[in-house]
Structures are given as structure tokens and as C-alpha cells.
């Protein structure tokens, strides 16, 4: 959703038009955008922009955006948590452990509407949603690049507000509620409360909030957190089979920096795009012919068969506009829930993964000089692509490749055949040579290096 902001004057028009379409004008007028405290520190914004998921029975992945209060539903507290609830609240668990936080993409999952007695179910719901996400490529192939953390948020009441109807109000830890902006499937949260729990987990890169509900719904908060650094928040109902698709779509924005590929027929000012070339990798003013001629955007994928069906080309309509902008395929996950990412989308997602994850993790400390009795060890995550391709591991001594050591993750200093008393530089590089990435700039991010000093 946030991609349209780079395109100039369309954002206010989009908000106004969608507010009218979705009957959310009252919310758009809520309060100032934010204030500052006495010390001059900017306060959290009073309103945030969220993406509305498509209808449960519909095909569009998203159906608009709207400004909503940053705070959650106005439920009144029903009292203090029990002693067991207070003890469990804020507990952090590393559910999927693939390595140190600094070298992995860390996903933080928080539940809302789970009482202390329901926390085991929250953990099972978190495991199921992660399994759903990693059943979609390229998450499947790259699942070992991720850590998953759960943070227990204990609610006083079970379930969330707005389920089953707007009159239902529940006192929950994160203030989640359906009927946000008078849209039944829009599942909003109290973002400051979510941030308080996110802060308990180590260096979150992506946040997922699971509501204790079987009602269809979700939302995408796709602004990067300036305080905690995570890329965005996706909300989803834990008990609905299709809600996980909403969360996956939102990661296309937050991690892949992809534009929405759907559009708004009949919305004023969105019949035709007339602005500059969008910055998004999957949105362009160019036809396939011009794209190939100028060697830009997804030109490297033109004519290829895409996993979402059909051939990569330039299909008119996308990034909210009916005409004037083109998308790579007819109906990828960035347009239609339940579809795969298209080829340019897969490439963008892999690039996004490597913005937060590294292929080489030093198991031997790098802050000391290794001697003959020592070994240099690294961990390299396994890839799970259908082609069986694994990272290429290469060792170098003073910049010269030691080809006899290729593929190994452990090397003894004695194997280096050092013949002088100088201090030498030993390094190891792991490189992902996936054919799913063709852009040279992105390819350069698909390798990482660890280095030690060694001597006799």
C-alpha cells in the first residue's frame, strides 16, 4: 500500500476516494497526526494507514487503504490479571531457532485475546501460521534464514472485539478489533501496545499479530518502525484458514517492497496514471517492448513462464490504477490471495530476505588470532529449493582461493600450510547462486564473508 506515496499528489485523492467508498470518512477525520511531549520527543501518530484485506470470497488481495486510530478498541479494563497471568505476560520463546539474531530474519508473533489458560493454543496457532507461510515460495526454500519468536500477551478476556458483531467488546492485551473503520474484515490493533510487546523480543524484523478468532480478517501496517526497526505488522485471525494469506501478501510490501498489483475500477482519479515512473520493482509505465528496449524493471523475466500462471509481460492495471501502469503477470499474490508470487516478486522477496539475513555465521570467534591448534568453523543455512541447489562455500588465504577446501564449513589452521611467522588473513564466503535472482545488484547481496587472523 505504501508504494503509492512516492508517486506525488495521488495519496490525498486516494484516501478521500476510498474513505467515501468504504464509508470511513469519520475515521479519516480523527484527531491530529501526532504531538510532542514536554521534552520535544515526537509522540506516536494518532492515526496510521492500513491496507484492507480483500473479501473472503473475493479474488482481490486488497481492497483499499484507510486511516485508522493507532490506538485499539475502546474496551474498558475488567480488572487486573491473575497472578498466573502476570507471571506469563511478556514471556518470550524462540519457536524456530536457525541461528543468532544478527544473522537471521527475526519474525515476532504476538497473540491477542488469549487468556493465560489459552497460551498453549496460541503457541500452536503460531506454529500453524508459520507452517502456512513457509508453504509459499520463496519462504519454502529460504525458511532456514528465519528465526521465529513468540511473545505471550495475556488478555483478561478470550476472543477479540467485533467478533461476532460490532457490539461485542472484549478486554484484550493488544486491543484488537474487527469492524475497524466500519469494515467487518479489517482487523486493527493498538499499535503502541503491540510495540511494547515487540520490544521484549530481540531485534524484530517482522511482526505478526494473531487474533484469537475464527472470523476472517486481517490488516497490513506496512510502515517501518522508526523506533524498533521492524519492517511492518501483519494482523490475521488465527482460526481462519484464509487469513494467513493476508499476512503473506503484506510481507510482499514489508520485505519485498512490492507494490499492490490490484486496481480500483470506478474510483475517481484512478482511471489513468499520468505520473512519473514508479520506484516499485513490479510496477511500470512501460510496455513490455519499451521495457526490453530500455533494459529496465523486470525486463530479464519477460517471456518466462511464471509460477502464478501465464507468461511474464506487461499487463495493464496495477498499483491502484486501471490504466497507465503495468504489472508483470495477470494475477500474482500481490493481486489475488491464494496465488503464488510471480517471478519478479520471488526475486524481490529473496532480496528482501537477504537485507536481514546472512549466509555465514562464525562459530569460531573472529576477535582473536587463530593458531595451529585451532579450527575455523562457520554455519551455513541449508536451502530447500526444488533444484537442491546449496550455497557455494569458498575459503581464501590472503585473498587467494584455496580450492581444495571448497564446500567445507570447518578448516584447521594446520591445513593452511603456513611457512612463515607473519599474521595471515583467512576468510570464508558463502554465496547463493539461485536462478531466481537475475538482477546484478540483488545478486551482490546474496553472499557474505567471515574473516579471521591466523598464524603459526
Question: How far apart are alpha carbons 32 and 67 in whole angstroms?
Answer: 12
Find out whether 154 and 79 touch, Cβ atoms under 8 Å: no
Q: Are residues 22 and 162 part of one domain?
A: yes
pLDDT of residue 3: 36
Write the CB contacts of 58 (distance below 8 Å, at least 6 apart in sequence): none
Which residue range(s) make up the domain with 369?
A: 361-454
Q: Are residues 165 and 31 in the same domain?
A: yes
Q: Show Cβ contacts of residue 98 under 8 Å, excluding neighbours closer than 6 positions.
A: 104, 144, 145, 146, 147, 381
pLDDT surpasses 50 at 11: no
pLDDT of 134 > 80? The answer is yes
10: confidence class by pLDDT, cuts 50, 70, 90: very low
Tell me if 112 is assigned to some domain.
yes
Does 20 have pLDDT greater than 50? Answer: no
The string of pLDDT tens digits covering residues 384-404 is 999 999 999 999 999 999 999
On whether both 93 and 242 belong to a single domain, the answer is yes
343 part of a folded domain: no
pLDDT at 2: 37
Contacts of 52 (CB under 8 A, 6+ apart): 22, 62, 63, 64, 65, 66, 181, 183, 185, 186, 219
pLDDT class of 104 with cuts at 50, 70, 90: very high
d(CA 73, CA 181): 11
Among 254, 270, 285, the domain boundary falls at 254
| Confidence (pLDDT) at 185 | 94
Angle between helices 243-254 and 119-133 (to 10 degrees): 60
Asked if pLDDT for residue 365 goes beyond 70, the answer is: yes
Task: State the average pLDDT for the chain.
Answer: 89
CATH of the domain at 54: 3.40.390.10
Q: Would 97 be classed as within a structural domain?
A: yes
User: Which of 196, 224, 254 delimits the end of a domain?
Assistant: 254
| Counted domains in the chain | 2
Contact criterion met (CB below 8 Å) for 34 and 46: yes
Percent of the chain with pLDDT over 70: 87
Mean pLDDT value across residues 177-204: 95
Q: Considering the domain boundaries, does residue 383 fall inside one?
A: yes
Write down the pLDDT at residue 74.
Answer: 64
Tens-place pLDDT, residues 408-440: 999 999 999 999 999 999 999 999 999 999 999
What pLDDT does 189 receive?
97
Q: What pLDDT, on the 0 to 100 scale, is given for residue 148? A: 98
Structure confidence at residue 63 (pLDDT) = 66
Residue 9 pLDDT exceeds 60 = no
Residues 377 and 228 in one domain: no
State the pLDDT at residue 84: 84
- What confidence score (pLDDT) does residue 75 get? 66
Residue at 262 is within a domain = no
**Do residues 235 and 372 share a domain?**
no
In this structure, is residue 261 part of a structural domain?
no
Tens of pLDDT, residue by residue over 286-300, are 999 999 999 999 999
Of 107 and 82, the structure prediction assigns the larger pLDDT to 107
Q: What is the mean pLDDT of residues 369-387?
A: 97
Q: How much is the average pLDDT of 158-173?
A: 96
Q: How far is CA 168 from the centre of its chain?
A: 31
Residue at 433 is within a domain: yes
What is the Cα–Cα distance from 280 to 15, expressed in whole angstroms? Answer: 20
Residue 316 CB-half CA count within 13 A: 8
Q: Is residue 241 over pLDDT 90? A: no
pLDDT value at residue 44: 54
Mean pLDDT confidence for 307-314: 96
Same domain, 62 and 182: yes
Q: How far apart are CA 235 and CA 174, in angstroms?
A: 11
pLDDT band at residue 456 under the 50/70/90 scheme: very high
Query: What SS3 string covers the chain?
Result: CHHHHHHCCHHHHHHHHHHHHCCCHHHHCCCCCCCECCCCCECCCCEEEEEEECCCCCCECEEEEEEEECCCCCCCCCCCCCHHHHHHCCCEEEEECCCCHHHCEEEEEEEECCCHHHHHHHHHHHHHHHHHHCCCCCCCCCHHHEEEEEECCCCCCCCCECCCCCCCCCCCCCCCECCECCECCECECCHHHHHHHHCCCCCCCEEEEEECCCCCCEEEECCCCCCCCCCCEEEEECCCCCHHHHHHHHHHHHCCCCCCCCECCCCCCCCECCCCCCCCCCCECCCHHHHHHHCCCCHHHCCCECCCCCECCCEEEECEEEEEEEECCCCCCCCECCCCCCHHHHHHHHHHHCCCCCCCEECCCCCCEECCCCEEEEECCCCCCCCCCCCEEEEEECCEECHHHCCCCEEEHHHHCCCCCCCEEEEEEEECCCCCCCCHHHHCCCEEEEEEEECC
Question: Percent of the chain scored above 90 by pLDDT?
Answer: 79
Tell which of 228, 254, 280 closes a domain.
Answer: 254
* Higher per-residue pLDDT: 24 or 94: 94
What's residue 353's pLDDT?
98
Specify the pLDDT at position 78. 65
| Structural domain includes residue 401 | yes
User: Are 148 and 17 contained in the same domain?
Assistant: yes
pLDDT in tens, 38-93: 444 445 568 899 998 878 766 666 667 899 999 866 666 667 888 888 899 999 99
The structure's pTM equals 0.89
User: What is the average pLDDT across 339-366?
Assistant: 98
376 pairs with which residues across the strands? 411
pLDDT at 156 over 80: yes
What pLDDT is recorded for position 85?
Answer: 86
Amino acid at each position: 500500500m505504501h508504494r503509492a506515496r512516492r508517486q506525488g499528489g495521488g495519496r490525498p485523492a486516494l484516501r478521500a476516494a476510498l474513505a467515501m467508498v468504504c464509508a470511513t470518512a469519520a475515521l479519516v477525520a480523527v484527531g491530529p497526526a501526532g504531538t510532542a511531549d514536554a521534552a520535544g520527543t515526537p509522540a506516536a501518530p494518532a492515526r496510521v494507514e492500513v491496507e484492507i484485506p480483500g473479501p473472503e470470497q473475493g479474488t482481490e488481495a486488497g481492497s483499499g487503504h484507510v486511516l485508522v486510530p493507532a490506538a485499539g478498541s475502546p474496551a474498558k479494563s475488567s480488572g487486573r490479571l491473575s497472578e498466573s497471568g502476570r507471571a506469563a505476560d511478556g514471556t518470550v520463546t524462540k519457536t524456530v531457532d536457525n541461528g543468532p539474531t544478527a544473522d537471521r530474519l527475526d519474525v515476532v508473533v504476538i497473540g491477542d485475546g488469549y487468556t493465560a489458560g489459552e497460551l498453549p493454543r496460541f503457541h500452536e496457532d503460531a506454529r500453524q501460521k508459520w507452517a502456512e507461510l513457509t508453504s509459499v515460495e520463496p519462504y519454502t526454500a529460504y525458511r532456514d534464514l528465519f528465526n521465529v519468536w513468540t511473545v505471550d500477551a495475556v488478555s483478561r478476556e478470550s476472543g477479540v472485539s467485533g467478533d461476532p458483531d460490532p457490539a461485542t467488546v472484549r478486554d484484550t492485551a493488544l486491543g484488537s478489533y474487527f469492524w475497524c473503520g466500519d469494515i467487518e474484515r479489517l482487523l486493527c490493533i493498538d499499535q503502541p501496545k503491540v510495540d511494547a510487546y515487540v520490544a521484549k523480543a530481540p531485534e524484530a524484523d517482522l511482526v505478526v499479530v494473531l487474533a484469537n478468532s475464527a472470523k476472517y480478517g486481517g490488516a497490513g501496517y506496512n510502515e517501518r518502525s522508526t523506533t524498533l526497526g521492524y519492517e511492518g505488522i501483519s494482523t490475521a485471525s488465527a482460526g481462519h484458514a484464509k487469513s494467513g494469506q493476508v499476512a503473506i501478501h503484506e510481507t510482499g510490501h514489508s520485505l519485498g517492497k512490492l507494490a499492490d498489483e490490484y486496481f480500483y475500477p470506478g474510483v475517481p482519479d484512478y482511471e489513468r496514471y499520468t505520473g512519473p515512473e514508479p520506484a516499485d520493482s513490479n510496477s511500470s509505465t512501460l510496455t513490455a517492448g519499451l521495457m526490453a528496449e530500455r533494459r529496465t524493471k523486470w525486463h530479464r523475466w519477460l517471456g518466462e513462464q511464471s509460477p502464478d500462471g501465464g507468461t511474464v509481460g506487461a499487463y495493464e492495471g496495477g498499483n491502484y490504477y486501471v490504466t497507465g501502469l503495468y504489472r508483470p503477470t495477470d494475477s500474482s499474490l500481490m493481486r489475488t490471495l491464494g496465488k503464488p508470487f510471480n517471478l519478479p516478486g520471488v526475486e524481490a522477496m529473496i532480496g528482501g530476505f537477504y537485507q536481514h539475513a546472512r549466509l555465514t555465521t562464525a562459530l569460531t570467534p573472529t576477535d582473536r588470532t587463530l593458531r595451529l591448534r585451532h579450527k575455523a568453523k562457520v554455519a551455513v543455512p541449508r536451502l530447500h529449493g526444488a533444484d537442491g541447489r546449496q550455497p557455494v562455500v569458498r575459503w581464501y588465504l590472503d585473498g587467494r582461493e584455496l580450492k581444495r577446501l571448497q564446500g567445507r564449513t570447518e578448516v584447521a589452521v594446520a591445513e593452511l600450510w603456513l611457512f612463515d611467522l607473519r599474521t595471515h588473513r583467512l576468510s570464508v564466503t558463502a554465496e547463493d547462486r539461485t536462478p531466481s535472482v537475475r538482477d546484478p545488484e540483488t545478486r551482490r547481496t546474496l553472499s557474505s564473508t567471515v574473516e579471521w587472523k591466523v598464524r603459526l
